[in-house]
Amino acid sequence: MKKILFLFIVSLILHSCNDGDIIVTTFNFDDAELKSCGNVGNYVFYKVNPEALESLSLKLGVTDSIYKTAETKSYILNGTTNFVNYRTYDGILGTTYFCSSIPPTSPNVTVDYLAASGTAEFATTFVYDDNDGVPEEKEFNGDTDGDGLPNIYDLDDDGDNVPTARELDTENADGDNDPFTNPKDTDGDGIPDYLDADDDNDNVLTRDEDKDMDLDPTNDVSDTSVGPDYLNPAVSETYEITQYRVHTYKIFKSVKITLKNVVLINGEEEITQETLTMGTIENVETKDKTIRPEL
Ligand SMILES: [Ca+2]
Ligand SMILES: [Ca+2]
Ligand SMILES: [Ca+2]
Ligand SMILES: [Ca+2]
């Protein structure tokens, strides 16, 4: 999967309430990787710029499973359970500074801004992998067999109980070592086998040419000189199959975090940011799914 590098450059304007002076400063989290730890009830997101001995961190005491769905969620910063800190230190932060259960005693915090208002926006995106040999961008954008699993994460796209991976160019007939190019089309009807529910065009669904009814049509062979019955138009016995095989797929989840309308406060000093991009965490969560779709 692609790694996306987000450059993180933020210019801040500090307003000093005491004398009306405006101090302009820049802090720079270029190349600082957004990291996270914790879990439901106590999420921590942080990035550290070791050169300037500074950090930007977000604590979220929410009970949501943040990455459950591919959508954008907003959490209100309230200063107690949900808040942002911008801090500087008198020394380099250890790698476990933000994630240890006992707060580290060093380095010391030298400047501490707290944001108790604004929102933290979480944009979660999913990448699916059904490991079926069809590249995600080449999958049909829909649900060929209507089993509720879109082709991008359906390992049996035509629902014939023969996995897509076994219906491509499995013999490497074209010699290019890519099973997706020139996929098999046994009956020559112009529909490749992996999208064809009746692969031999004998008017019996491949799924029903399953004599031992074990949800695997590939092991039912009446004539060994031809091959499995579902690829042999001379054999057209039908068995009433009422189930799909079990399907598995993976979801790789990534999240982009953006702070909106945050007001960082340190005593009488305020830093206001309309939009502050914290960054993206690739593969923040990976899920293995197992499901038997309804036939
Ligand atoms: Ca499907
Ligand atoms: Ca698929
Ligand atoms: Ca098929
Ligand atoms: Ca057939």
- pLDDT, tens digit (0-9, with 9 covering 90-100), for 110-148: 999 999 899 999 999 999 999 999 999 999 999 999 999
Within 13 Å, how many C-alpha atoms sit on residue 103's CB side?
A: 4
What 3-state class would DSSP assign to 122? strand
DSSP 21-64: -EEEEEEE-TTPPPEEEEETTEEEEEEEETTTTEEEEEEE---S
Ligand whose nearest atom lies closest to the CA of 208: 4
**Ligand showing the shortest atom-to-Cα distance for residue 143:** 1
Per-residue pLDDT at 71 exceeds 70: yes
The yes-or-no verdict on residue 68 having pLDDT over 60 is: yes
Report how far ligand 4's centroid is from the alpha carbon of 187 (Å): 9
Tell me the C-alpha to C-alpha distance, in Å, between residue 179 and each of 27, 165, 171, 173, 259. Answer: 50, 8, 8, 9, 45
235 alpha carbon to ligand 4 midpoint, in Å? 8
Which residues are within 5 Å of ligand 1 (an ion), measured at CB? 143, 145, 147, 149, 154
Instruction: Say which ligand is closest to the CA of 206.
Output: 4
Which ligand number lies closest to the CA of residue 131?
A: 2
Cis (ω within 30 of 0) for the bond into 107?
yes
Q: Is the dihedral of CA 295, 210, 164, 284 positive or negative?
A: positive
Find the ligand nearest to 198 CA: 4
Q: How large is the average pLDDT for residues 245-270?
A: 95
Residue 225 · residue 232 · CB < 8 Å: no
Residues 83-104 pLDDT 10s:
999 999 999 998 889 988 787 8
**In terms of Cα–Cα distance, which of 65, 97, 67, 47 is closest to 283?**
67
Cβ(82)–Cβ(61) below 8 Å: yes
pTM: 0.82
**Spatial distance between the Cα atoms of 128 and 7, rounded to a whole number of angstroms:** 26
